[in-house]
Amino acid sequence: RPWPPGRPASPPSRHQSSTVFAPPLSAIMVVRYDSSSPTHFFLLYYGLLLSLALVPPPTTMAIRTRVTWVNGIAHNLDHMHDGRDGISSLFGGSPVEFCHNPTSMTSEDDYVGWGKDLTQAGTQKLGRITEEVDALVSHLKDAVSRVGPAGVVVHIAHSQGALITLLAARRLPPSDLSRIEVISFGGGAALRRSPETPFKRCVNYYSANDPILAIVPSAERALRSGFLGVCSGTGLPSEEPELVFLMPRANDPVADHGLLGPTYGEALEWEGRRYQRLYLPLHARAGRAAMAGTVAALGGLSESTREVLIGALGRTVVPFVMFVMEVNARVTRMTTELVRSVWVAVWMALRFVWEVLMEVLRAWRGEEEKYVPVSRPNAR
């Protein structure tokens, strides 16, 4: 049967654990290689790993970030775990913290519960503040406080989640909103930058055949007019269009509405590449790509060849990488101590030169040192 709006485009698999953020490495990228020359492949990728081991990674990113997500209707916790893992894979394995908008559905065939979800979304469209809105306000405040004054929160909202985000934004101070990038997919409300909601960045993706456009008049008018780059707060063209319309990939309004479906999935993938380029350090991206390529290559080899290569790598390359990283860490500590010692010596030398200069200056002025006896208290 067709999946209801807001439901993932394909039936989700069930995960037993809720603590895994990153997907399997083989899901990150696909590498084309010559299976007849596995030696060249492993030399290339493990050479990259060795070069990365020579440089100690920074302890923190230049810009601290959090990726958050609020869902649409008909999402239980299993759907949230699946969606979280899918988003994480597109955002370079970064942890995704979701704010669950719970469903009233007790099963996938519970149309009564689905109707209750739609009714709740309708009341939120009229401005009603629900528990889900309060939960998202707390969720975003916590995320903003964790990234600090210079950090960025990348918030993903889908379907009804955009309605909840709009109501939550009205209850957040401008100082918090200015550190939030909002990315909406098939939102029940178009999120815009304005003096009241000064998001750091705001973009709304809509599939051209998305049925939810019927309840978002501003987006529907923009689709008909073709003039997309206007910010409702200022009336001036913005640097980046806040409304982006996508060509449907499945030509099915329900499937194209899914966050990880064929249409919004491509836009989400592009946003993930943007996030990695702007906020993830280079060594993290390169190392993850190398490991992903290695896993993909191992999957294409025969069982016996794979076992031999894994055994050889486990006895040679991996210990060598660990040795290089340990030596590098010790050299770093020694360098730190050396710099500290040199700084003390330089400080003492500068102080000596300063005292000599002061003595020369006193002699040039003709000043003489005067002996001032220390007074003693009268002896009893």
Considering only CA atoms, which of 350, 281, 268, 280 is closest in space to residue 86?
Answer: 268
Tokens of 282: 């280079």
Q: What is the pLDDT of residue 21?
A: 34
Q: What are the residues facing 181 on neighbouring strands?
A: 154, 201
Distance CA 151, CA 143 (A): 10
Q: What is the share, in percent, of the chain residues with pLDDT greater than 70?
A: 68
**Per-residue model confidence as pLDDT tens digits over 168-223:** 999 999 999 999 999 999 999 999 999 999 999 999 999 999 999 999 999 998 88
Q: What is the 3-state secondary structure (H, E, C) of 219-231?
A: HHHHHHHCCCCEC
Distance CA 209, CA 334 (A): 62
Q: What is the 3-state secondary structure (H, E, C) of 52-91?
A: HHCCCCCCCCCCCEEEEEECCCCCCHHHHHHHHHHHHHHC
- In this prediction, residues 243-260 reach a mean pLDDT of 93
Q: What are the residues facing 205 on neighbouring strands?
A: 185, 244
Q: What is the DSSP string of 121-168?
A: HHHHHTT---HHHHHHHHHHHHHHHHH-TT-EEEEEEETHHHHHHHHH
Contact criterion met (CB below 8 Å) for 237 and 229: yes
5: pLDDT confidence band, cut at 50, 70 and 90? very low
Q: What is the pLDDT of residue 320?
A: 72
Q: What is the share, in percent, of the chain residues with pLDDT greater than 90?
A: 49
The least confident of 22-26, 69-73, 100-104, 315-319 is 22-26
69: pLDDT confidence band, cut at 50, 70 and 90? very high
